[in-house]
Structure 1
Amino acid sequence: MRLQHVNAKERLRGIFGKRWIGLWLALFTFLLTELLAAFPALTESVYSRGLYPSIAMALSSVSRWFPFSLDDLFYVGLIVLGLVSILALVLRRMRWHSFLALWLNSLAGLYVLFYWLWGFNYYRQELNERLTIAQSEPDTEVFIEVLSELIESANAAYISVDTLDVARVDSLVEDSYQQLAPFLKIDYPAGVRRAKPITFSGFFAKATILGYYGPFFNEVQVSRYLLSVQYPLVLAHEKAHQLGITGEAEANFYAWLVCANSPDQVLQYSASLYLLRYFLSEAYQLEAYPQLVKQISEPVKSDFQRIREHWLMLRDVKIDEYASKMNDAYLKTNKVEQGIDDYSGVVKYVMDFSTDSVANKRLRKLLNP
C-alpha cells in the first residue's frame, strides 16, 4: 500500500515537476486569454491601461540602446537552437523525451511571453467603444462624399517627397501621439519608440512587409525599402502597435489620425495617400468609381503608380502568398475574425469617425483648446 502511495507521489511530481512547468504556465495563460476575451472592459482597465504601459516602459528602456533588432536576434537564436537540437538528436547526444521536453517547453514559453508582454491587448475593448465613436450605417452616398473629401485632402496636401529627415519625422509622429493621447485613450509615453530597420528587410520586402512590431523586446521596426512618402504613416502604424493597439485596422486608423492632424505637410500627405488606397479599393465596384478617380490629381496618381511599381519589383509571389496565409492564421488565432482583411477595416473606422459630429468636436477641441 505504501509502495502504491509513493508511486502516485512520483507520478504527480513528474506531471507537475520543473520539466513541464512551461506547459502548465501556457495552459494558465490560455485560460486567461479566454477570460479576458469574454470581459474586454476588464482587459482594458487591468492590462492595457494598467499593466502593459509599465511592461512597455521596462522593455523598451533596454532595447532602445541597441541599434539592431533584439527580436530578430531572438528569432535567429530559436532557429539555431532548433538546428542544434535536431543535430544532437540525430547524433544520439539527446534522447527523444528530452528533445520533446525542450521544444514543448520552448514553444510554451514563447506563448506565455507573447501574451504577457503584449498579446493580451488583442482582447481589449473594440475601437468604437474605447474611443466612444458611434457606429454608422453603411451608406453609399455618404461613402462617396467622404471619399471625395479624402481625394481633395490628398490633392491639397501633395508634396514631392524624395528625401526624408527620419529623426524629424519620428519627432513629429511622437508629438502628434502625445497631443492626441487623451482622444486615442493611450497612456503616453508607455515606453520608448526607437524605430529600427528590419534586419532581413530584403527577404521581408519579397512578402511586401513594410514594417512590424517585435513584442518580445517592445521594438518598432520598419523596412529599409520603404519609399520616403510611405515612411511617416508606416512608422505611425508600428508605433500604434507599441502603444498597445493590436488590430491592423485600428493601427491604421491611429496612424492616419496622428499623421493627418500633424502640422507637417509630409505627414498629412503620407496619411491621405495611404488611406486613399483602401477607400478606392472599396469603391472599385461603384458606378461612380471612374468619376472619383478623375478627381485625383496627376501628381498623386503618379505617386500611387510609383509605390505600386516599387513593391511589385521587390515582391516574390510565392513568399508573399505564404506570408499572407501565415499572417491571416495568426490574426484569426487571436480572434481577429477578418484575418488579413482586417487592414482594410480602417475604412469603417474612418467612416464612423467622419459621421460622428460629437467625436469630431472632441478632437477639434483637443487640437484647438
Structure 2
Amino acid sequence: MKHRLHWRSRLALACTGVVTFGLFRLLMMAPGFTETIYGRGIGPFFASLLSNISGIIPVSLAEILVVVFVARQLSGVIKGFSEIRNGDRQFTNAVLAGVLRLGADLGIVITTFYLLWGFNYARPSLESRQQWDGSHAQVEELTRLAQEMINAANFEYVSITSSEDFGQPTIGPQHATLVEQLSTSWKFAEEILGLPRAALLGFGNPKRSWASVVLDYGQTSGFYFPWTGEANYNRGTPDVSAPQVIAHEMSHQRGFAREDEANFAGYLAASLSDDSYPRYSAYVFAQRQLLSALSGYDTDHARELVRQRLPGVQRDIRAANAYWQQFEGHASRTTRSMNNAYLRTNRVPGGILSYNRSVELLIGYARSRGGRLINP
C-alpha cells in the first residue's frame, strides 16, 4: 500500500510557523509600529472576541484542546507503529510522515499563537508606554513602600477577620463573587493603564482549571491560553494569593504579555477593588515583592519590617508558602525550565526572573503618584 506524505502542504504549514516567528523578531525591532498596528489594533480585538466566545462555555476549552492535541500526536505515533508492525508501511516512510505531520501542526500552533496574542511581546514595555521610571530604587524608597503595604495589609486583615489573628488561614470569597469583584475593579485599572478601546469590549470570565493537580506539581498558579482567550487559574491556589493571581491572568487577556507587567497589572486591579479581600491579596503580594528587593540591600531592615505584620497576615503567608513547598520536585523544576525557555524565546529579559521585576513597576507607579501606591 502506498502512503502519501502530503509533504508539500505539510512543509508549507511548517514554514509558515518559521516565517511568523521571523516576523515576530522583526517586530521586536519596531516596538512603536507594533504598538500602533497590533497592541492598539488587531491584538485586543482578537483577544476580546475569542474570550467572549469561549466565555459562553463554563469549562476550560483550553484544557480540552490540549488533550485533543496530545491525543492527535499519540494516535499518529500508535498508528505509525501499527502499520510498520503489520508490514503496511516502511519505517522511513512512517517516520518522515510523522515528522512532517508534527511540523505542520507546530507551524499552525506557532502562527496562530503570534497572530492571536504573541506579538504583544514585541510591544514597548509598560514602563515606556506609561512614561514611568522605576529604576535605581533607594533603600529608603523600598522601605517606605514596603511599610505602606504592610500597614495596608494589616488594616484589611482586621477588616476581614475583626481580629489580629483569626487562628487559621483566611478564607476568600467564592469563585463567582471574586470574579465579579475583579471584573469591576479591572475597569478602573483599564482607565489608569490607558488600554485601547478594543480591549474595553469586555472579556470572558476567568475559569478554574480542572487540571489543578497537574498545575500543583508544576507549581503553577494559572495560565493564559491565547487560542481561546481564556484566563485559567489553579483552583488549589491559596486564598490569600487567589485574587491577585486571577487578576494577573486577566491582565494577559488585556494584552500584558510580560510576566512582570502582568504581576503589576494584577496587583493594580486587585488593589482598586471596592472589596477588602482583593485589596488584601494585592497588598500582601506587593509587600512580598518589595521586601524581597529590600533584602538584597538590607536584610536586617527587611526582617524588621516583616515583624510588623500582624500574626494573622504572617499565618496566611506561611500557609501559602507551605502549600507550594509540598509540590517542590522534579516536575516543578521541569516546568520552571520550560517556562524559562518559553520566555527567553519570546525575548523576555531574564526569563523566569522577570516575574520579580514587577517591583520596578510598583516603584515607577508610586513615583508617578507622589510616592505612594495607595491614593490618600
**TM-score after normalising by structure 1:** 0.88
CA distance in 1, matches of 2:278, 2:130: 23
| Alpha carbons 1:193, 1:242 under 8 Å: kept | no
| Alpha carbons 1:327, 1:340 under 8 Å: kept | yes
Corresponding residue to 2:48 among 51, 57, 63: 57
| Alpha carbons 1:213, 1:220 under 8 Å: kept | yes
Corresponding residue to 1:24 among 15, 20, 26: 15
Change (3 A) 1:126 1:323: same
- Worse overlay, 43-52 or 184-193: 184-193
| Alpha carbons 2:48, 2:253 under 8 Å: kept | no
- Segments of structure 2 that go 5 or more residues without pairing to the other structure are 1-5, 162-169
Instruction: Indicate the residue corresponding to 2:127 in structure 1.
Output: 128
Task: Report deviation, 1:117.
Answer: 1.0
Task: Map residues 198-277 of structure 1 onto 2, 5 A cutoff.
Answer: 198-277=209-288
| Alpha carbons 1:329, 1:339 under 8 Å: kept | yes
Instruction: Indicate the residue corresponding to 1:312 in structure 2.
Output: 325
CA distance in 2, matches of 1:40, 1:300: 41
Change (3 A) 1:59 1:357: closer
Task: Report deviation, 1:56.
Answer: 1.6
CA distance in 1, matches of 2:96, 2:323: 49
Change (3 A) 1:143 1:360: closer
Change (3 A) 1:191 1:110: farther
CA distance in 1, matches of 2:324, 2:372: 35
In the TM superposition, structure 1's runs of 4+ consecutive aligned residues that sit over 3 Å from their partners are 357-361
- The letter of the residue matching 1:352 is G
CA distance in 1, matches of 2:131, 2:247: 22
- The letter of the residue matching 2:101 is L
CA distance in 2, matches of 1:322, 1:216: 24
Residues matched between the structures, number: 349
| Alpha carbons 2:48, 2:203 under 8 Å: kept | yes
User: Which whole-Å deviations, capped at 9, do the CAs of 1:84-128 have from their partners, x for residues lacking one?
Assistant: 111222223563332221111111111111111111101111011
- The letter of the residue matching 1:255 is G
Change (3 A) 1:327 1:19: closer
Change (3 A) 1:301 1:358: closer
Task: Report deviation, 1:229.
Answer: 2.4
CA distance in 2, matches of 1:121, 1:279: 27
Task: Report deviation, 1:307.
Answer: 1.2
CA distance in 2, matches of 1:134, 1:23: 41
User: Which whole-Å deviations, capped at 9, do the CAs of 1:150-173 have from their partners, x for residues lacking one?
Assistant: 111111121343241322221221
CA distance in 1, matches of 2:124, 2:172: 39
CA distance in 2, matches of 1:42, 1:116: 15
CA distance in 1, matches of 2:245, 2:144: 26
Instruction: Indicate the residue corresponding to 1:145 in structure 2.
Output: 144
| Alpha carbons 1:131, 1:183 under 8 Å: kept | no
Instruction: Indicate the residue corresponding to 1:3 in structure 2.
Output: none
Task: Map residues 69-108 of structure 1 onto 2, 5 A cutoff.
Answer: 69-91=60-82, 92=84, 95=93, 96-108=95-107
Secondary structure, aligned partner of 1:66: coil
- Segments of structure 1 that go 5 or more residues without pairing to the other structure are 1-13
Identity over aligned residues, as a percent?
A: 27
Relative contact order: is structure 1 or structure 2 higher (C-alpha 8 Å, sep ≥ 6)?
Answer: 2
CA distance in 1, matches of 2:134, 2:238: 34
- The letter of the residue matching 1:156 is F
Q: Does 1:172 align with 2:181?
A: yes
Secondary structure, aligned partner of 1:189: helix
CA distance in 2, matches of 1:31, 1:163: 45
User: Which whole-Å deviations, capped at 9, do the CAs of 1:242-288 have from their partners, x for residues lacking one?
Assistant: 11101111011111111112221111101011222222222334131
| Alpha carbons 1:63, 1:70 under 8 Å: kept | yes
User: Which whole-Å deviations, capped at 9, do the CAs of 1:199-246 have from their partners, x for residues lacking one?
Assistant: 210121112211111111111111111222222111100000011101
Instruction: Indicate the residue corresponding to 2:167 in structure 1.
Output: none
Corresponding residue to 1:290 among 303, 311, 316: 303
Task: Report deviation, 1:50.
Answer: 0.2
CA distance in 2, matches of 1:223, 1:87: 32
Corresponding residue to 2:353 among 327, 337, 341: 341
Secondary structure, aligned partner of 1:288: helix
User: Which whole-Å deviations, capped at 9, do the CAs of 1:283-322 have from their partners, x for residues lacking one?
Assistant: 3341312321222121111111111122223x14111111
Secondary structure, aligned partner of 1:336: coil
CA distance in 1, matches of 2:11, 2:291: 52
What do you get for the CA RMSD once the two structures are aligned?
Answer: 2.2
Task: Report deviation, 1:182.
Answer: 2.6
Instruction: Indicate the residue corresponding to 1:8 in structure 2.
Output: none
